[in-house]
Structure 1
Amino acid sequence: MQKTVTGYSCALLAVVIWSGNFVVARAVAGLIPPWQCNFWRWFIALIILLPFAKRHWRTDWPAIKKNWRSLSLLGILGVTLLNTLIYKAGQTTESINMALLVPTAPIVILLLSRILYAEPISPRRMAGVLVVLVGVGILVTRGDWDRLAHLRFNEGDLWALGGVLCFGLYSLFIRQRSADISPIGFSLATFALGLLYSLPFTVIEAVMLPTPHLSTPLVISVLYTGIGCSALSFWLWTVAIDQIGPVRAGMVYYSLPVFSGIAAKLILDETVTPAQMVGGALVIIGIIVATVVMPHRRKTDTLQQRP
C-alpha cells in the first residue's frame, strides 16, 4: 500500500509540474530554437542534481559503467529527443492538435507493454482508457465536436507524435533500470549522456540560426523547465515507475490536460468552460477505473489431508 501511494503521488506531482511545460512552450516558441532550448533546460537540471547526487555517485558509478549502453538509450529518448521534438512541433502545429496528440502517450505505453512484455490489457483497463479519451476529447474541443472535423494535420504533428513515441519507449525501458543505481544517480547519468548526444546538434543550430535575445520571460521559462520539468519531474517519474510500473504511471499521465487547463487559467487567465470541467471529471474517473485495483475476497481452499 505504501509503495502504491508513493508511486501514484510521485506520478501525479510530476504530471502537475509537466502541465506548465505547455504554457512555457507557447511562450518560448519564437524566443529560442528547439535544440538550444532543450539543451539549456537539461544543463540546468544537471547542475541542480549534482549536489544531491554527490553522495550516491561513488556507489552508483560501477553500475553506471556497466549499464552505459542502456543509460545512453534512455538519455537519447528522454533528454536528447523528447522535448526537442515537442518544441519543434510547437513551431508549426496548432495547440488543439498538440492537446490531442500528447495524451496518447499512455496508449503507446499500454500497447508497447503488450507487444514487448506480453502485459495483459484487461477489459477494466480498456474501459478506463475509453472514458479518459472521451474526457480528453471534450477538454480539447471544449464540447464543440465540429472542431475535430476541421482539424488539419501538418509537419508539426509528426514531430509531436515522435515525442509521444519517445516518451512511451522511455517509460517502458526505464523499468529495466539496474537496482544498483539510485534514482538520483540514474537521473544524473541519463541527463549527462543525453546532453552529450545533443551537443553536436545544438552547436550546429547555434551556428546556423541567429543568437536568441536574452530576456526575462526566456530566462524564467528555461529555469522553470530546467528545475521543475526536468530535474524534479523526471526524478519523480523514475520513482513512480519503480513503485507502480509504467502502465499505471502512464494512466496518471492522462490527467495532463486537466492540469494544463488549470495552469492556463491561473497563468494566462483563460476561461474554463463547463464542458472542460465535465471533460476533466471524465479523465479523473477513467484513470480511477483503469488503475485502482479493487480488493477481492479470497476464496478459502479446503485442505484435504492425505492418508
Structure 2
Amino acid sequence: MRETAAGYGMALLATIIWSGNFVVARAVADMIPPWQCNFWRWVIAFVVCLPFAWRHLRQDFPLLRRHWRYVSLMALLGVSFMNTFFYKAGQTTPSLNMALIAPTAPVIILLLSRIIYGDPISPRRLLGMCVVMAGIVVLVSRGDWQRLASLSFAGGDLWSLGGALSFGLYSLFIRSRPAGLSTLGFSAATFGLGSLFCLPAVIGEMWLLPPVVWSGEVLTGVLYAGIGCSFVSFSLWTRAIACIGPVRAGIVYYSLPLYAALAAWLVLGEAVIAAQVVGGLLIVGGIVTATLQTRRTPS
C-alpha cells in the first residue's frame, strides 16, 4: 500500500508540473520553432540529469546496448516526437481543441493495454473514466455547450492527436523496461538519444526559419520545460508507472486540465468560473472512482 500511494503521489506531482508547460507553451509559441524548443528542453534535461546518472549509465551500458532498439523507440516516443507534436499543433490549433484532445492519452493507454497485454477494463474503472471525461468536457466548454457544437477541427488537431498517441505508447511500453535497468540510466539514455534524433529537423528549422531571439521569456520557458517538465516529471512518471502501472497512472493524468486551469489563473490571471469548479470536481471524483480498489480486489 505504501508503494501504491507513492506511485499515485509521483504520478500526480508529474502531472502538476506538466500542467505548467501549457502556460509556458502559450508564452513562447511565436518566439521559438517547435523542433528547436523541444531539442533545447531535452538537452537541458540531459545536462541536468547527467551528473546524477553518470554512474548508472556506466553500470547500465551493457543492458542499454543489448536493448538498443527498445531504448531508441522510447527515446523517439517520449522525447523526440511527443512535445514537438504539441508545440507544432499550438501554431494552428485553438486551445479548446487541444484541451479536448490531450487527455485522450489515458484512453489510448487503457485500450492498448487491453489489446497488447490483456489487461481487464473493470466496470468501476470504466465508470471513473466516463466521469472524468464528463468533467473534462464541462471544464473546457466552460458550461457553454454551443462552444462544443461550433468546433471545427484543423490540421493541427492531428498533431495534437499524434502527441497524445506518443505519450500513450510511451506510458504503455515503459512497463517493458528491461529488468535491472535503473531509472536514472534509462532516463539519461533516452534524453540524449531523443535529442540526437531531433537534430536533422532542428538543422532544417535553423536553415529555413529566422534565428531565435533568446529573450528572458524564452530562456525561462525552455529552462522550466527542460528541468521541470522533462527531467523531474519524466523521472517521476517512470517510477510511478513502475509502482502502479500505466493504466492507473494514465487515469491520474486526466487531472491535467484542472491544474492547467489553476496555473492559468495564478500566472496569467484568467478568472475561474463555476463550470471550471464543477469540471474539476468531476475529474477528481472520477479519478478516485477509477483508482480505488475494494477489499475483495487483489492488489
Identify whether the pair has TM-score above 0.5, normalized to the shorter chain.
yes
Q: Cα–Cα, structure 1 residues 260 and 297, in superposed 2: closer, same or farther, change >3 Å? A: closer
Q: Cα–Cα, structure 1 residues 7 and 297, in superposed 2: closer, same or farther, change >3 Å? A: closer
| Higher mean C-alpha deviation, range 238-247 or range 61-70 | 61-70
Structure 2 residues without counterparts, runs of 5 or longer = none
Specify the alignment match of 2:189 in structure 1.
189
> Is 1:155 aligned to residue 155 of structure 2?
yes
Deviations 1:89-132 (A, max 9, x none): 00000000011000111001001111111111111111000000
Between the aligned partners of 1:213 and 1:152, the Cα distance in structure 2 is 33
Deviations 1:148-176 (A, max 9, x none): 00111001101000000000100011111
Specify the alignment match of 2:88 in structure 1.
88
Between the aligned partners of 1:201 and 1:180, the Cα distance in structure 2 is 33
Specify the alignment match of 2:143 in structure 1.
143
Deviations 1:17-68 (A, max 9, x none): 0000111111111000000000000000000001111221222111111111
Contact 2:143/2:275 (8 A) holds in 1? yes
Specify the alignment match of 1:19 in structure 2.
19
> Is 1:44 aligned to residue 44 of structure 2?
yes
Specify the alignment match of 1:101 in structure 2.
101
Deviations 1:204-224 (A, max 9, x none): 111111101110110000000
> Is 1:269 aligned to residue 269 of structure 2?
yes
Between the aligned partners of 1:192 and 1:179, the Cα distance in structure 2 is 21
Task: Kindly provide the amino acid, as one letter, of the partner of residue 278 in structure 1.
Answer: V
Specify the alignment match of 2:60 in structure 1.
60
Specify the alignment match of 1:305 in structure 2.
none
State the number of aligned residues. Answer: 298
Specify the alignment match of 2:75 in structure 1.
75
Between the aligned partners of 1:17 and 1:296, the Cα distance in structure 2 is 34
Between the aligned partners of 1:12 and 1:179, the Cα distance in structure 2 is 25
Specify the alignment match of 1:218 in structure 2.
218
TM-score, normalised by the number of residues in structure 2: 0.98
Secondary structure in structure 1 of the residue aligned to 2:126: helix
Between the aligned partners of 2:169 and 2:270, the Cα distance in structure 1 is 33
Q: Give 1:296 shift.
A: 2.4
Deviations 1:254-294 (A, max 9, x none): 00001001100000010001111010000000001111112
Secondary structure in structure 1 of the residue aligned to 2:41: helix
Between the aligned partners of 2:58 and 2:6, the Cα distance in structure 1 is 27
Between the aligned partners of 2:201 and 2:269, the Cα distance in structure 1 is 36
Secondary structure in structure 2 of the residue aligned to 1:286: helix
Secondary structure in structure 1 of the residue aligned to 2:296: coil
Between the aligned partners of 1:128 and 1:284, the Cα distance in structure 2 is 10
Q: Give 1:297 shift.
A: 8.7
Between the aligned partners of 1:189 and 1:55, the Cα distance in structure 2 is 12
Contact 2:45/2:226 (8 A) holds in 1? yes
Contact 2:57/2:188 (8 A) holds in 1? no
TM-score, normalised by the number of residues in structure 1: 0.96
Between the aligned partners of 1:137 and 1:294, the Cα distance in structure 2 is 28
Secondary structure in structure 2 of the residue aligned to 1:115: helix
Q: Identity over the aligned pairs, expressed in percent?
A: 59
Between the aligned partners of 1:210 and 1:272, the Cα distance in structure 2 is 38
Structure 1 residues without counterparts, runs of 5 or longer = 299-307
Between the aligned partners of 1:185 and 1:212, the Cα distance in structure 2 is 32
Provide the aligned C-alpha RMSD in A. 1.0
The runs of at least 4 aligned residues of structure 1 exceeding 2 Å deviation read none
Specify the alignment match of 1:35 in structure 2.
35
Task: Kindly provide the amino acid, as one letter, of the partner of residue 154 in structure 2.
Answer: N
Between the aligned partners of 2:112 and 2:37, the Cα distance in structure 1 is 29
Between the aligned partners of 2:58 and 2:76, the Cα distance in structure 1 is 24
Task: Kindly provide the amino acid, as one letter, of the partner of residue 41 in structure 1.
Answer: R
